[in-house]
Amino acid sequence: MESREQREKEAEEAIDAINKKTGRNMPQAIGTAVVLIAIILACLLVSIDLFVALIVVFMVLALWELRVDFATAGLHIPVIMLWLCSTVTLVATYLAPRHIVAMAMCITASAVLVAVAASAKMSVGNRLSTAVAAKLAHTDAGARLESSFNHEGGEQHHSRLSHVAVSLFTVLYIPLLGSCLIIPLTFNGHPVAHAIMLVFLPALSDTGGLFAGAWLGRHKLSPRISPKKSVEGLVGSMLFAMAGAFAVFACTYDASLWATRWWVPVVAGVMIGVVGTFGDLCASMLKRDIGIKDMGHLLKGHGGVMDRIDSILLSAPFTCLLLWATGL
């Protein structure tokens, strides 16, 4: 009995050590990742249309998280207008005959409508106040002290231009980058392969960076913005993304294309590793500037939806361009 209790104690200590080194609850993170992978694969197996609907749902959830996050610093974005504009933009980009033209027109219209709605600064209900209070209750005092919005005078007030600027940033961050997840599904006849590359390669890159950084990380990449990011983690991110790209290409394209496109998985791995890590750093910088630890709490072990998709969103336009330019 004592031996069993000792083994359980050692296992708990080992898990605690891993959690501390990675900065997340790894058992929860793995369980959440398995569920997300199952949902995404199920959507892809059923229909690409269902996968597009899943993207819309994730963008809607991400917008709600950003609304709460910005509100902790006294900045307000018109989330209802953003929901409508993002949904229309993503669906129109997918269904319209001229996908890029539809995206450009919708983003332009969204920028105008969101700017007008942000200047009006309308708020419906008290759910936002409740969500902000809950967010601040789970935020470390140290994070608030490092925030650019660290004021002790209660609720902060900003000019209308500040609300408009943050709202326009959100348009570029969510519907514009989200549309880059949609466009590769519409060309060259490999929507499932493209979807897997868009979603799973950045996720695989994150996994490689996490494990390589945890076990081999010695040289900090950007200690001020993200203390746990390391050069070794960046290398691991590129290698994991590269291996994933080779696997997808091997299962998708025939030997004749490999003769002239063998270098594409190498480029994709390096590009996604670098861009995905940069996306993580940008999100970390945003969180540090606002004074929060996680974008949200919807995904156990991963923080919020934004914490999970930040590297996916930033990698999307680069992956889209690579696939289009190489005819894949």
CA-derived radius of gyration, the chain = 21
Distance of alpha carbon 207 from alpha carbon 213, whole angstroms: 10
Boundary (domain end) residue, out of 161, 186, 211:
186
Domain end residue (candidates: 186, 215, 245)? 186
Among 29-43, 53-67, 103-117, 264-278, whose mean pLDDT is lowest? 29-43
Averaged over 152-171, what is the pLDDT? 77
Give the global pTM: 0.82
Q: Based on the fold, state whether residues 159 and 70 are members of the same structural domain.
A: yes
Which of 101-105, 117-121, 204-208, 274-278 has maximum average pLDDT? 101-105
Residue 60's identity, in one-letter code, is V
Q: Which of residues 257 and 131 earns the better pLDDT score? A: 257
The pLDDT value recorded for residue 287 is 78
> Residues near 94 by Cβ (< 8 Å), separated by ≥ 6?
52, 182, 185, 186
128 occurs within a structural domain? yes
The predicted model gives 244-254 an average pLDDT of 89
Task: Provide the pLDDT for residue 1.
Answer: 45
* In the predicted structure, residue 293 carries a pLDDT above the cut 90: no
Q: What whole-number distance in Å separates Cα of residue 302 and Cα of residue 188?
A: 33
Q: Is the pLDDT of residue 17 over 90?
A: no
Q: Are residues 224 and 323 in the same domain?
A: yes
Please give the backbone phi and psi of residue 111, each rounded to the nearest 5 degrees, phi first. Answer: -60, -40
Say if residue 140's pLDDT is above 60. no
Q: Is 297 exposed, middle or buried (0-12, 13-18, 19+ CB in 10 A)?
A: middle
Same domain, 175 and 293: no
**Three-state SS for 38?**
helix
Q: Three-state SS for 221?
A: strand
The first and second tokens of residue 230, run together, are: 């390391």
State which residues form the domain around 52: 42-186
What six digits make up the tokens of 168? Answer: 């326009």
Q: Are 117 and 199 part of one and the same domain?
A: no
Domain termination residue (choose one: 127, 152, 186): 186
With respect to residue 176, please indicate whether it lies within any of the assigned structural domains.
yes
Interval 45-102: pLDDT, tens: 999 999 999 999 999 999 988 888 888 888 889 999 999 999 999 999 999 999 999 9
Chain mean pLDDT for the chain: 81
What integer pLDDT is reported at residue 156 of this predicted model? 58
